Amino acid sequence: MTRKIKILWVDDEIDMLKSYLIFLEEKGYSVTPVYNGIDALKILNEQIFDVIILDEHMPGIDGLTLTSEIHKTYKNIPIIMLTKNEEENIIENAIASHIVDYLIKPVNPKQLLSSLKKITDTEKLQQEKTLSDFYREFKKILNSINYAQTIEDWLSIYRNIVFYDIELQKINDTNSLELIEAQYKEANNAFSKFVKNNYLTLLINDTNNSIVMSQNILQRKFFPFLKHNNKAILLLIDNLRYDHLLFIQPLISKYYNVETNLYFSILPTATAYARNSIFSGLMPSEIQKLYPNLWIDETEDDLKNQYEQELFNRLCIRNGIREKFFFKKIVTTDDSRRLLNEINGLLNNFNYGVIIYNFIDILTHTQPQSKPVKEMSSNNFSYRNLIYSWFEYSSLYQIIKICSENNFSIFLTTDHGSVRIESPIKILGEKNITTNLRYKYGKNIKYPEKEVFIISNPSKAFLPQTTVAGEYIFATNNDFFAYINNYNQYVKFYRNTYQHGGISLEEILVPFSYLTLK
């Protein structure tokens, strides 16, 4: 039996509205009438209501004042205001008070019913449509996965999966959530095979840069963006996934028109490789060869991204970009506060700038060590919510707002994504092999060959080779590498955390957005 929608109707002339009450009761609503705001607040402490209807003009507590009092405690109850007053300032005050609908007396009963249905049924109808669309599209997406042959195919598949992933989060339907999780795994399994079979060929044959990848994204997308915008910022948020960006996009859209696309991150999908490749416009082995003093090998302890500004300057010169850029890298909260204090001055003195923001990457690396963080980001839904909460109250969001106020457009991108790891792969190796959980570089590594992607000749993948007979191996899907020594403890520590460096849709197909002025 369907639960009746409970309505609290507050009006000092409620006795004259009995025909409306009867009409709503006949339509399946349960209506509780009260004569004034004091009685309304009292009954709200005793009962739960789905909707409140109230008169704008009442003796004692008027409608707008009552609305303000109700929202102090019951923020989520939708309110419909009835009034004889059509003055613009009254309507504006009602809207500002978060009243969901505003009806002019005398109200037609069907008009009132329509307003109620819009409030009570819209969410239900939208959820039903989302589920219906998803179940219909599920088989189509599965079929697309089975026949995907190009990067464009995979971009389309990933967009569709992420779209329904985010939409289904709003519904929280157990069956559909299990299906979307299964579809991610099915897609990642097939995508990993695609990368294994095609990655080296793509790198070697794509001589005209037809595929947007780490090493050409600035030349292909950012530099043309500069030519069309007198003032522009390159904003790189480290480890920002496509679904993360779509989730925070409504916040950004308050200040910018947003057009979001995807590009292909190189392997390893790790900051040291992908981000240096972005800022240099070169593949890692090319950086090592052309600028040996600007490349830090895996075996060295120094920070791997300390020369990004110099690499970017040289890329600009090679492409005939003569404009001066400010260049800011944000790693700590103090860095973030300083930039917020400085941003207006920078925007006044420069027409172009680069900002690198490292929060999400730091969050990911903190996850295994922090039980609260691990619990708050235990799945894609909670991970997105955590990033949304951070972004909404971050200095970065304030900086984006300030950029819009100063008429700066923004090219927003990232270097790689991350994937939640589940299945360990046992490996053995010498002490000097790399520590990343999703890829390894070194020699004499023992591993199950069928379960990994192997690049035995790094030069073919434009990767540095710092040891003789050194090779790269990559985990795929939700796998990760675990040493046999202390295996159980290692697996328990890292399982169900988000990592990057390997092969998955979430790590490789990453976003870039044009944020243009409204």
Q: What CATH number is associated with residue 253?
A: 3.40.720
d(CA 469, CA 429): 13
pLDDT of amino acid 92: 66
Q: How many CB atoms lie within 10 A of CB 16?
A: 9
- Residue 474 maps to a domain: yes
Short-list 84, 70, 79, CA closest to 38:
70
**Domain C-terminal end among 198, 230, 248:** 198
- Pairing label, strands 423-427, 479-483: parallel
Tell me how many degrees the CA angle 464-505-158 measures, rounded to the nearest 5. Answer: 145
Looking at the structure, tell me whether residues 31 and 178 fall in a common domain.
no
- Residue 203 maps to a domain: no
- Residue 249 maps to a domain: yes
d(CA 490, CA 479): 14
Looking at the structure, tell me whether residues 269 and 350 fall in a common domain.
yes
- Residue 460 maps to a domain: yes
Say if CB 330 and CB 339 are below 8 A apart. Answer: yes
CATH code, domain carrying 79 = 3.40.50.2300
Helices (H), 8-85: 18-26, 37-44, 63-73
Looking at the structure, tell me whether residues 186 and 290 fall in a common domain.
no
Looking at the structure, tell me whether residues 427 and 513 fall in a common domain.
no
Short-list 420, 421, 468, 419, CA closest to 441:
468
- Residue 495 maps to a domain: yes
CA dihedral 154, 158, 160, 162 (to 10 degrees): 180
Residue 438 backbone phi and psi in degrees, to 5: -105, -15
Count the domains in the chain: 4
Looking at the structure, tell me whether residues 142 and 214 fall in a common domain.
no
Looking at the structure, tell me whether residues 413 and 334 fall in a common domain.
yes
CA dihedral 400, 402, 408, 412 (to 10 degrees): -10
Looking at the structure, tell me whether residues 241 and 378 fall in a common domain.
yes
Domain containing residue 108: 5-120
Looking at the structure, tell me whether residues 372 and 448 fall in a common domain.
no
**Domain C-terminal end among 148, 167, 198:** 198
- Exposure pattern of 322-335 as b/e (b: 16+ CB <10 Å)? eeebbbbbbeeeee
Tell me how many degrees the CA angle 288-293-298 measures, rounded to the nearest 5. Answer: 55
pLDDT of amino acid 117: 86
d(CA 305, CA 366): 19
Looking at the structure, tell me whether residues 413 and 426 fall in a common domain.
no
pLDDT of amino acid 375: 85
Looking at the structure, tell me whether residues 424 and 404 fall in a common domain.
no
**Domain C-terminal end among 99, 120, 141:** 120
Short-list 12, 23, 10, 32, CA closest to 113:
23
- Residue 317 maps to a domain: yes
First-last CA distance in the chain? 49
Owner of token pair 């790094």: 458
pLDDT of amino acid 97: 59
CA-based torsion, 14, 18, 19, 21: positive or negative:
positive
- Residue 377 maps to a domain: yes
d(CA 103, CA 97): 15
Short-list 218, 427, 224, CA closest to 308:
218
Per-residue pLDDT of the chain (518 residues; tens, 9 = 90+): 457 889 999 999 888 889 999 999 999 899 999 999 999 999 998 888 989 999 888 888 888 888 888 888 887 888 998 887 766 566 666 565 568 888 888 888 888 999 888 887 777 777 888 888 888 889 999 999 999 999 999 999 999 999 999 988 888 777 888 899 999 999 999 999 999 999 999 998 876 778 999 999 999 999 999 999 999 999 999 999 999 999 999 999 999 999 999 999 999 999 999 999 999 999 999 999 999 999 987 766 667 788 999 999 999 999 999 999 999 999 998 999 999 999 999 999 999 999 999 988 888 878 888 888 888 888 899 999 999 999 999 999 999 999 999 999 999 999 999 999 999 999 998 777 888 999 999 889 999 999 999 999 999 999 998 777 789 999 999 999 998 888 999 899 999 999 999 999 999 999 999 999 99
pLDDT of amino acid 98: 67
Looking at the structure, tell me whether residues 458 and 321 fall in a common domain.
no
Looking at the structure, tell me whether residues 347 and 462 fall in a common domain.
no
CA dihedral 439, 443, 448, 451 (to 10 degrees): 30
